Amino acid sequence: MPDNKSYDVIILGGGPAGTATALALRAHAPNLSVSLIEQTNYDKLRIGETLPPAAQPLLERIGVWQKFLDERHLPAYGTCAAWGSDRLYENEFIYQTAKRGWHLDRRRFDEMLAREAAARGVETRHNSKLIGSSVKPEGGYRLVIQQEQARDSFIDGAFIIDATGRRSIFATQQGIEKVSVDRLLGVFGFFEFDPDKQFDKTYTLVESCEEGWWYSALLPDGKLAVAFMSDSDVIKSRRLTAADAWLDRLARTQHTKARVTNAWLVNGPVTYPASSQCLERFSGNGWLAVGDAASTFDPLSSAGITKGLRSGVMASYAIGDYFKGNPSGLLKYEAILNREFQNYLATRTTFYRQEKRWPKSVFWQRRHDQFAEEASETTPNIAAPHSTRAEPRQVVAL
């Protein structure tokens, strides 16, 4: 395997966090050479259908706001929730005050961001994935990249961005552990509607139940994504990955069931991990993690994409400082993401505590008991200014 190119920065993962990092770097540190490695060709379904209004300033910041508008994603005007009672109430967005959001075609959204990064000088490789990495004696990393229908190749990077989603592939290879605070799993089904009975309810719906909660959102092709969210062991014990059991639970709902009256299941159920987790460290010697590779939030927050975009912008400044010989940028980045995760846990507590109808339910007991423990925990310390790495955080695990 002959050596290929060398780059200042290699970004592993072409989702919103990785592409936002690339775009922000081109604007903030245009002298740095950047490569983006994406495992797919953006040709398959991607979960993550709702983009809240808080994303607008971030899309403006990385210079793609007009391109985003040109894509004409379906507008979303908020969330309806039956949470804490059977009554359905409207809220612009569960965690955020807002104007208007969007129902995304995630495949098309991610592809647009990658296309813009390539247009601004980021060398991109699709259908490529990391299969190995090693530290170079002189500094930086050598990565082994497997590309579809091509021989494996080496590429060198002085700095590596892990944007590989919740798998955190590069960080894991560096020996960094992931800490999960719950076992949440999403079991998704996709519905198609009777063409004579158009579905026009463009809000996202959340409905709690005894064993977890339901989520549904309109997709750009007119289909409806419906997911049951619960702990993995609860889903396994109730056989809720089987269509008959999953549809039976759906039939017991009130508001979610009403949404699929004139629809039929065309795909699923399929499972997607949804647990809240974070890396024990967000950065290290010559690398950092962004987006879901750094931390993942409960889907109730609708914050995954905006968190990814925001972390990508922040990462670009930390990397710029790094190449100027200033390590404080990485420490600041570590501190911000640590604080963000702690604030998220506090907000998560507020919303789960609103549901008190099923005190004997394992799902709700775990959250109420865990939140009581979290409330007594002190905020983890951030590394001292002279340190080059942060201490692992302590998070209560179920």
The predicted structure's pLDDT at residue 52: 86
The predicted structure's pLDDT at residue 99: 62
Examine the pLDDT at 200 and tell me if it is beyond 90. Answer: no
- Name the phi and psi angles at 261, rounded to 5: -55, -40
Examine the pLDDT at 391 and tell me if it is beyond 70. Answer: no
Tens of pLDDT, residue by residue over 292-308, are 999 999 998 888 899 99
- 108: amino acid identity, one letter: R
Is domain 184-273 given the CATH code 3.30.9.100 in the classification?
Answer: yes
Burial class (CB in 10 A: 0-12, 13-18, 19+), 375: exposed
Percent of residues, the chain, with pLDDT higher than 70: 89
Distance of CA 338 to the CA centre of its chain: 16
User: Could you tell me the pLDDT band of residue 379, with boundaries at 50, 70 and 90?
Assistant: very low
Average pLDDT, the chain: 88
Structure tokens belonging to residue 242: 């089987």
- When pLDDT is averaged across residues 91-109 and rounded to a whole number, the result is 70
Examine the pLDDT at 121 and tell me if it is beyond 50. Answer: yes
205, 79 Cβ separation under 8 angstroms: yes
The predicted structure's pLDDT at residue 373: 55
User: Could you tell me the pLDDT band of residue 389, with boundaries at 50, 70 and 90?
Assistant: very low
Length of the chain: 398
How far apart are alpha carbons 218 and 204 in whole angstroms? 7
Place of tokens 């990092």: 21
User: Could you tell me the pLDDT band of residue 168, with boundaries at 50, 70 and 90?
Assistant: very high
Place of tokens 């909660």: 213
Range scoring the smallest mean pLDDT among 23-27, 93-97, 203-207, 258-262: 93-97
CATH 3.50.50.60 residue ranges for the chain: 3-76+99-179+276-337
Hey, what CATH topology would domain 3-76+99-179+276-337 get?
A: FAD/NAD(P)-binding domain (3.50.50)
Examine the pLDDT at 93 and tell me if it is beyond 60. Answer: no
User: Could you tell me the pLDDT band of residue 2, with boundaries at 50, 70 and 90?
Assistant: very low
Name the residue among 357, 355, 354, 352 with its Cα closest to residue 398: 352
Range scoring the smallest mean pLDDT among 1-5, 24-28, 64-68, 71-75: 1-5
The predicted structure's pLDDT at residue 319: 98
The predicted structure's pLDDT at residue 223: 87
Name the residue among 32, 30, 27 with its Cα closest to residue 10: 32
- When pLDDT is averaged across residues 75-80 and rounded to a whole number, the result is 81
291, 312 Cβ separation under 8 angstroms: yes
* Cβ contacts of 97 within 8 Å, gap of 6 or more: none
User: Could you tell me the pLDDT band of residue 397, with boundaries at 50, 70 and 90?
Assistant: very low
The predicted structure's pLDDT at residue 195: 82
- When pLDDT is averaged across residues 126-148 and rounded to a whole number, the result is 93
Structure tokens belonging to residue 164: 């590989």
- Greater confidence (148 vs 165) lies with 165
CATH 3.30.9.100 residue ranges for the chain: 184-273
- Greater confidence (58 vs 262) lies with 58
- When pLDDT is averaged across residues 341-353 and rounded to a whole number, the result is 93
User: Could you tell me the pLDDT band of residue 171, with boundaries at 50, 70 and 90?
Assistant: very high
User: Could you tell me the pLDDT band of residue 192, with boundaries at 50, 70 and 90?
Assistant: very high
- When pLDDT is averaged across residues 273-278 and rounded to a whole number, the result is 96
